[in-house]
Structure 1
C-alpha cells in the first residue's frame, strides 16, 4: 500500500492591483508568443483598449474569440479546435469564471499553457487546476482535473471596483465556504482536489480567507458601490480569488459545494450566481454538522449584512417543495460527491432536513437582530 501524502498546489504567478490589466502583455509574454484571448463581447468592450496597448508593447499578436454563458463540453471542444487552427501557444480566459474554466479545459486538451484574467472577484475558480463543466442549461455536469494550475492569474482591482457589486458579494459567498469545508475535511482526514491530504499551509490559508472577509467584506462592498479601490477591497479580492482558491483546492471541499452542485439542477436557481448557491450550501453544512448555535447565528447575521441568501425562498425554493428538495439531496449525495468528505455519513434524508431547517432558523435569527431580507432577493 502506498503511504498517503500531503500536498499543496498553486498557480505559477499571481498578479493583483489597480491597473494590472495594463501590464497583461508583459506577463503573458513570459509564457507564450501567440496568445488566444477568450472573452465575451461585453467584457471585451471594457478592456480592449488596455489589452491591445499592452499586447502591442509586448509585441504580441491579438487573436480573440467570443464566449457564451457556460463552460460546456461543446464550448471547450470548440476552443481547443480554435487553438489548433490559430497555432496559439497560450490561451487567456478573460472575464468570468465560466470563460476562465473553458479556457483552462481547452488549453489542457490542446496541450498549451493557460492564463486566468478575471474581471471580477466573483469566484475562486481562476487559480485552480480544475474546471467546472455545465450543461447548456447551466446544470452542473462534472469536474475536470488538470495536471497543473494556470501559469498566470492576473486581476485588476480597478476592474473589480467598477463591476456590479453583486459579483463581489457572490465571491464572498464562495470564499466563506472555504474554511467551513476545509475544517470538515480535516476532521475526516479526507483527500483534497490537489490529490493528497491537507497541508498545514492550505488549512491556514483557508482560515485566513475567512478572517479577512469578516474584517473587510462590508467595507469592500461599500468601496465597489462607490467604484473606488481601497485597502479593504484589495484584501477581499485576494481572499476571494487567491486564498479561497488555494484553500478549497488544497484544503478540501465538503457539503457546501456538493449542495451547490445539486442546486444547479433546480430550474428555480438558474438565475443565481455560484456564490449565492454556495452560501445556502455552507449554512446547510453548518446545520448538518451540528455547529454551535452561536456560530450559526453569526453566519446568518454576517451573510445577511453582506447581501447573501440564507433561506430557501431567497433562491426560489420553499420548505414545502418536497419533490425538488429530495432531488437536490439525492444529487448532492451521489457517489463521488464532495459531501462524502464530511466526517460522518450523509444521506439524502439528512440533506433534506438541513435545507428545510434553514427557513425558520434564518428568519428567527434575522428577526432577533432586526435584520431585513437583502434587497436584491425581495423580488425573486
Structure 2
C-alpha cells in the first residue's frame, strides 16, 4: 500500500484575513469570474469586504445564496449557478455545510476552490471531502473529490466573534483525530485517500490533541470575551488545519461513524457535528477497551470545555434500545469508517459501546 498525504495548496490564517482574500488569490494564480457561495446573512455582512478585496485585484464575482443544507439539491443548484456565470473559481464562505457544498460544487463544475470558514466548528475546510445530507438532516453519503482546495483562508477575527459553541464543537471534531488515526495505523487500514498514513500525518494528529489540551480552555475563555489571543490562533489552527490534515491523511474510525449513526435520530439534529463526534469518540474508546485513564482524560477535557459526554447531552436522555439499534446499524453500514478497527465491528458491539460509554462517563 502506497503512503499518501493530502493538503490544500495554501493555508492562510490571521486577524482580518478576509481583507487580503483578493491579494492572496492573485498570488496563487486564482482568477475570476468567481462564484461566491454563502448564506444570505454572511452575504449581507461580508459584501463590502468582498467588493474591496476582490475588486482591488480585478476579480469579478457573483454571489449564490446557500440555503443551509449540504444536500444534492444545493449542490446541483450551485453547479448550475457556476455554469451560468462561467466561473473559474468557487469561493465558499460560511460554516461546515456551506464549505462542504462549495467543495462539491467546485468538483462538479471543475472549478478552482477557495474555502473561507467563518467558524472553527469542524475540520473539513482543508479536505477533499463533503458530507452530503438528506433534506431532513440525515447523513446520506460521503463524497471524495479529486483534489483539495487551492486556498483556505481563515479570518480569526470573524471566528473569535462567533458564538463560542461553534469553537467548542470544532474541538470535539478535532479531539477524535489522534485517536482515530492511531486506530487506523494499528489496524494497518487505509486512510481517507485509500493509502497508508505518513509519519507527518501521525505527528500532526498528535500535535492536534496536545494543542487542544493545552490551549482549548484558555482559547474558549478568550472567544467568550470576543478577543483573539495566541491561544485562540493555535486552537483555530488545531481545529482547522491540524485536524483536517490528520483525519484525511491518517484516517477515521468508529467516532465519526457513530456520528453518522446518531443523525438517524431526530433529537440529535439540534446538535453540531463535532458535539456528536465527541460522544462517538467515547464510544470508540469503550469498544476498543482503552485504559480507563485515557477515557477519564478525554471526559475531563470534554467537561472542561462543554462537550457532550452523555446521551442526554445530545438529546437522547430517554432513548430506547430500539432507537439505539437503528444508530448502531447505520454506524456499521458498508463503507463506514467503523470498519477501520482491527477487529470485526457489529451493531451489537456498537450498541453495547454506546451504553457503556454513557454509563462510564456518568461514573466519572
Fold-level similarity (TM above 0.5)? yes
Q: Indicate the SS of the match to 1:9.
A: coil
1:133 and 1:361 map into 2 onto residues whose CA distance is: 32
Q: Indicate the SS of the match to 2:310.
A: coil
2:235 and 2:342 map into 1 onto residues whose CA distance is: 30
Matches within 5 A, 1:277-296: 277-296=276-295
CA offsets, 1:302-352, max 9 Å, x none? 101110001001111147511110000000011111000011111111111
Task: Tell me the TM-score normalized by structure 1.
Answer: 0.94
The alignment covers a number of residue pairs equal to 362
Matches within 5 A, 1:220-239: 220-239=219-238
Distance 1:151 1:320, change over 3 A: closer
Task: Indicate yes or no: 2:24 matched with 1:27.
Answer: yes
Q: Contact between 1:319 and 1:356, CA under 8 Å: does it hold in 2?
A: no
Matches within 5 A, 1:1-380: 4-29=1-26, 30-318=29-317, 321-365=320-364
1:96 and 1:303 map into 2 onto residues whose CA distance is: 22
2:87 and 2:307 map into 1 onto residues whose CA distance is: 40
Q: Indicate the SS of the match to 1:253.
A: coil
Distance 1:120 1:204, change over 3 A: same
Q: Indicate the SS of the match to 1:127.
A: coil
Unaligned runs of 5+ in 1: 366-380
1:54 and 1:5 map into 2 onto residues whose CA distance is: 41
The Cα shift of 1:49 comes to: 2.0
RMSD of Structure 2 on Structure 1 (CA): 1.0
Moved over 4 A (4+): none
CA offsets, 1:197-231, max 9 Å, x none? 11111011111000001000000001100111000
The Cα shift of 1:182 comes to: 0.2
Q: Contact between 2:331 and 2:338, CA under 8 Å: does it hold in 1?
A: yes
Distance 1:47 1:320, change over 3 A: closer
The Cα shift of 1:43 comes to: 1.6
In structure 2, what is the equivalent of residue 377 of structure 1?
Answer: none
1:265 and 1:95 map into 2 onto residues whose CA distance is: 25
CA offsets, 1:175-200, max 9 Å, x none? 00000100000111111112211111
Distance 1:16 1:320, change over 3 A: closer
Q: Indicate the SS of the match to 2:149.
A: coil
1:320 and 1:102 map into 2 onto residues whose CA distance is: 31
Q: Contact between 1:319 and 1:359, CA under 8 Å: does it hold in 2?
A: no
The Cα shift of 1:31 comes to: 1.3
Q: Contact between 2:22 and 2:53, CA under 8 Å: does it hold in 1?
A: yes
2:319 and 2:86 map into 1 onto residues whose CA distance is: 54
